[in-house]
Amino acid sequence: MAILEERAGLYVHIPFCLKKCRYCDFYSVTDLSLEKPFVHALKQEMRQKSRLGGSFDTLYLGGGTPSILQDAHLASIMEEALTCFDFEKNREVTIEVNPGTVTRSKLDFYLQTGIDRLNIGIQSFTDSNLAFLGRSHTALTALMAVNQAREAGFANIGLDLIIGLPGQERTGLQADLECALSFQPEHLSCYMLSYEPRTPLDQMRKRGRVTPLEEDRVSDLYEFLSGFLEEQGYEHYEISNFARRDPGSSHPPHRSRHNQKYWNHTPYIGVGPAAHSFILPRRFWNGKNLRAYMEALTKGLSPMAEEEILSPQQELMEALALGLRTQEGIGFDDFRKRFGVHLQQIVEKEALPLKEAGRLSFDGEHLWLTRKGFLIADAVTLRLIDAMDVA
Ligand code: SF4
């Protein structure tokens, strides 16, 4: 099967971490002795998946902690990716970096290999927050990592922050944001702390050792964050993502080109354990087991664990849910052409109370959620789907 016309993205999952953070449910292991055989298997999988064809304009090395990789391993992954897949010259190549695992020489090396974008998992510039989250770095290490990245010459840096920690107040969040903004990052991702099942943090919650911040206080922090960053020149272009605008420049805001593919159903291929791939209407993914992954590839087999084919109804529901996560929202005309549904009529009939409550806006062409509306995106999606009667 070939990838369709659109330019696809390649996601590479590096399944290693120094230690597991308390809140994290991404797949990774801490046995770094498996790095070499993993790289070997990963290259095999890239060769297998290269048969899907297509052309690519984004490459994203995520995880896990890609910055744990030895330079020689990273270089061979990059080389294989660029050989196996047809990448455009004008591409975005991102690596996720954990502050505790980068050095200036690593950063210089990333630039040499063609990586032009860093996504640094800061989470907070406050030591007590980092300790609570079980991160392996300190505030000082976080500051040094961003500083070194700028010194090395990275002109496209994204910082990840977590908000909504127990007891967090606006003042604490503002201090973190000001620290982040002192580097003028091109991109910020701000995620609300979630208590994912089976994580140590969720166990702590169940035993009463942690009390999650009340929902209305999390909402207050979120609205504050969004307003604050907009005032500082950042475009709130997706529920959790902000892109820096360069005033007076013709450069569009610095959005993540790769992540936008996830929100608009553009094809992407994932390699590595637990990685997902999507070629409309098919989604398929690898299992969350590094040893089984390596074993399958050593035998020349596919590491794919499962797949699903989206029905037209599922595709519609996903398009609605994903579109409402973005600043652009959903174009009525596009939606009608794609699904044969007159969304405008449904919205005009069903969504007036939400409009009056300042949660949602629409004109003759588009429907989009406001900052307040982003907080209830799932509920709005469900309400519209109920009204369409397609579930
Ligand atoms: S470093 Fe990232 S991927 Fe690894 S455990 Fe922590 S949050 Fe999860």
Q: Indicate the domain borders of the chain.
A: 8-261, 312-388
Q: Whose CA is nearest to atom 8 of ligand 1?
A: 24
SS3 of residue 383 by DSSP: helix
- Give the phi and the psi of residue 90 in degrees, each rounded to 5: -85, 80
Does this chain's domain 8-261 share its CATH topology with 312-388?
no
Cα distance from N-terminal residue to C-terminal residue, the chain: 29
Q: Is 371 within 8 Å of 226 (Cβ atoms)?
A: yes
CA–centroid distance, 20 to ligand 1, in Å, is 6
Q: Which residue has the tokens 């994903």?
A: 322
pLDDT at 113: 97
For ligand 1, what atom is nearest to the CA of residue 98? 1
> Using a 6 Å CB cutoff, which residues line ligand 1?
17, 20-21, 24, 26, 28, 63-65, 98, 121
CA–centroid distance, 196 to ligand 1, in Å, is 13
Residue-wise pLDDT tens digits, 234-287: 999 999 999 999 988 888 999 999 999 999 999 999 999 999 999 999 999 999
Q: Is 11 within 8 Å of 270 (Cβ atoms)?
A: yes
Low-confidence ranges of the chain (pLDDT < 50): none
Q: What torsion, rounded to 10 degrees, do the Cα atoms 124, 128, 133, 134 define?
A: 120
CA–centroid distance, 91 to ligand 1, in Å, is 26
Cα–Cα distance, 164 to 325 (Å, whole number): 19
For ligand 1, what atom is nearest to the CA of residue 96? 2
- Strands (E) in 176-300, as ranges, are 187-192, 234-238, 241-244, 268-271, 276-279, 282-286
Q: Whose CA is nearest to atom 3 of ligand 1?
A: 64
CA–centroid distance, 130 to ligand 1, in Å, is 12
pLDDT at 250: 85
Instruction: Give the CATH number of domain 312-388; options: 1.10.10.10, 1.10.620.20, 1.20.1250.20, 1.10.10.920.
Output: 1.10.10.920
DSSP 88-154: EEEEEEEEEE-GGG--HHHHHHHHHHT--EEEEEEE-S-HHHHHHHT-S--HHHHHHHHHHHHHHT-
CA–centroid distance, 75 to ligand 1, in Å, is 22
pLDDT at 99: 96
pLDDT at 6: 80
For ligand 1, what atom is nearest to the CA of residue 19? 5
CA–centroid distance, 121 to ligand 1, in Å, is 9
Query: Please, where are the H alpha helices in 283-331?
Result: 290-298, 312-324
Nearest to 179 by CA among 236, 139, 138: 139
SS3 of residue 372 by DSSP: helix
Distinct helix (H) and strand (E) counts, the chain? 16, 15
Cα–Cα distance, 131 to 137 (Å, whole number): 9
Neighbours of 151 (CB within 10 A): 11
For ligand 1, what atom is nearest to the CA of residue 64? 3
In terms of CATH architecture, what is 8-261? Alpha-Beta Barrel (3.20)
Q: Which residue has the tokens 């009525």?
A: 332
CA–centroid distance, 26 to ligand 1, in Å, is 7
